[in-house]
Amino acid sequence: MDAERFVARDTKCALEKVKAKLGADALILSTNRSDLGIEISAVSGESFKKSVSQADMAPSRESVNDITLGYLDRELRALRHVLYTALGERTWQEVAGKKPVSSALEQRLRTLGLCKLAIANITSDIDTSSGLNIAWSAVLRRLEAAIESENKAAIAINVVPKAIIGGSASCRSLICQQLVRKELQNSKSSEVLVISVTSDPSGALVDFCKREKVKRIHIPNVAEAQTYIRRARGRKKIVIETEDLTPGLGTNDPVLKLVKDQKLDIDAILVIPATYQSDVIRTTSLHTMDLPIAGAIISRTSEAVSLGAVLDAVILNGTPIIGLSHQLESCVRSVTSSELISLAKKLARKMVAASERFSERSGYAQTA
């Protein structure tokens, strides 16, 4: 029984060559990766049957069993390699002991960018006995419930001062402008006050306040800012531009000192750039966990490749999402859970498509 070799840029193309040459009943003997791509060794089903028939005529039954088991073992090894390649980063051991529906749910959530802990939180106690579609619908409902916030109205600044914290300076500046612009739709510019409690105020925010005739005051010292806010509170609708958060300072972080002053009754709006990694967002969440957080505004979605880190924060930290900030939009836009999930799916599809294009280019390069 003579085996034939088939070489192609990927497993799928190699298997197509095998099928075209040896037929659908061909037996895969081995699959190896080389500099040329994927190399498959296979024999036709007819050749294998003849070999087995000849072996049946041999006097030793033990030798027949050895040959048959050897080929079966090679075929199983080849099949395992194909599955392992298709599963990507998921190891064979992770999948082998799980139900197919559970594995599919985890794979879909992983494609959205969720971490293992968030996936376990969302999929816990999900009934998979009714099939993948029903189970996936249940997962999406649970994800929507985690995103839903009862604090949508917290984005208004006409009740208590709002301090914009976290994220980058440019994100905070843009959100300050968008909140003020939203408030100016129903208020006079003389009723709004912007306070920059930072050593380096945003030039864009300074220009915006001049253009809109909104009063802005720069107070780099937290103690002076506290005094000024006490006097202005109740007479003005206040938006506060803050410094970068410094988790390394712990409770001595000036931003924390300002926002935690109960006499000022300040609500903090947390900025979560969609470009940040999960560990950065987690560090920020732990650092601000004792603050009166009204909710979070997601920024830089146009630059993001995934919303996984944002969804992790929502699921694991219970951070309510009150809006999206886009640099091309005049105001912060409220967002529903279904819209956020749709955006996460859209980014995931783009990432998968880009990965497939990269794999194809790599395959062509290896073949060449």
Cα dihedral sign for 75, 78, 83, 84?
positive
- Joined tokens for residue 216: 């802005």
pLDDT-based confidence at residue 270 (cuts at 50, 70, 90) = very high
Work out the angle at residue 173's Cα, subtended by the Cα atoms of residues 172 and 178, and round it to the nearest 5 degrees. 95
Q: Taking the CB of residue 181, how many other CB atoms lie within 10 A of it? A: 17
Q: Is the pLDDT of residue 46 over 70?
A: yes
pLDDT at residue number 342: 93
CA distance 31 to 29: 7
pLDDT at residue number 63: 45
Q: Taking the CB of residue 289, how many other CB atoms lie within 10 A of it? A: 10
Whether residue 191 is found in the same domain as residue 268: yes
Whether residue 324 is found in the same domain as residue 175: yes
pLDDT-based confidence at residue 340 (cuts at 50, 70, 90) = very high
The closest of 266, 274, 268 to 287, measured between CA atoms, is: 268
Cα dihedral sign for 206, 210, 213, 217?
positive
Whether residue 320 is found in the same domain as residue 340: no
pLDDT at residue number 96: 47
- For residue 241, list its beta bridge partners: 164, 196
Q: Is the pLDDT of residue 117 over 50?
A: yes
**Percentage of residues in the chain having pLDDT higher than 90:** 45
Q: Is residue 253 part of a domain?
A: yes
The closest of 291, 325, 329, 327 to 310, measured between CA atoms, is: 325
The residue range of the domain holding 81 is: 4-87
Higher pLDDT, 85 or 8: 8
Q: Kindly report the CATH number assigned to the domain that includes residue 165.
A: 3.40.50.300
Among the ranges 12-26, 297-311, 312-326, which has the highest mean pLDDT value? 297-311
Q: Is residue 93 part of a domain?
A: no
- Is 11 within 8 Å of 82 (Cβ atoms)? yes
User: Considering just the CA atoms, what is the radius of gyration of the chain in Å?
Assistant: 30
Whether residue 176 is found in the same domain as residue 312: yes
CA distance 167 to 174: 11
What is the Cα 198 distance to its own chain's centre?
31
Mean pLDDT of 335-346: 91
pLDDT-based confidence at residue 53 (cuts at 50, 70, 90) = low
> Which residues, at least 6 apart from 299, have a Cβ–Cβ distance to it below 8 Å?
167, 171, 174, 175, 271, 272, 273, 274, 324, 325
Whether residue 290 is found in the same domain as residue 308: yes
> Which residues, at least 6 apart from 224, have a Cβ–Cβ distance to it below 8 Å?
none
Whether residue 184 is found in the same domain as residue 241: yes
pLDDT-based confidence at residue 80 (cuts at 50, 70, 90) = low
Higher pLDDT, 239 or 5: 239
Q: Is residue 241 part of a domain?
A: yes
Whether residue 124 is found in the same domain as residue 238: no
Indicate the average pLDDT of the chain: 82
Whether residue 219 is found in the same domain as residue 295: yes
Q: Is residue 261 part of a domain?
A: yes
Instruction: Reduce the secondary structure of 188-236 to three states and give it as a string.
Output: CHHHEEEEEECCCCCHHHHHHHHHHCCEEEECCCHHHHHHHHHHHECCE
Q: Is residue 94 part of a domain?
A: no
CA distance 91 to 66: 30
Whether residue 13 is found in the same domain as residue 134: no
Among the listed ranges 172-181, 221-230, 312-321, 322-331, which one has the minimum average pLDDT value?
312-321
Whether residue 221 is found in the same domain as residue 124: no
What is the number of structural domains in the chain? 3
* DSSP single-letter state for residue 247: G
Buried b (16+ CB within 10 A) or exposed e, 111-145: bbbbbeebbebbbeeeebeeeeeebbebbbebbee
Whether residue 195 is found in the same domain as residue 296: yes
Helix and strand totals (H; E) in the chain: 14, 10
Mean pLDDT of 313-327: 87
Q: Is residue 92 part of a domain?
A: no
Q: Taking the CB of residue 104, how many other CB atoms lie within 10 A of it? A: 15
Q: Is residue 167 part of a domain?
A: yes
The closest of 55, 73, 14, 56 to 38, measured between CA atoms, is: 14
**Could you read off the pLDDT of 285-317 as tens digits, one per residue?**
899 988 988 889 999 999 999 999 999 988 888
Whether residue 205 is found in the same domain as residue 158: yes
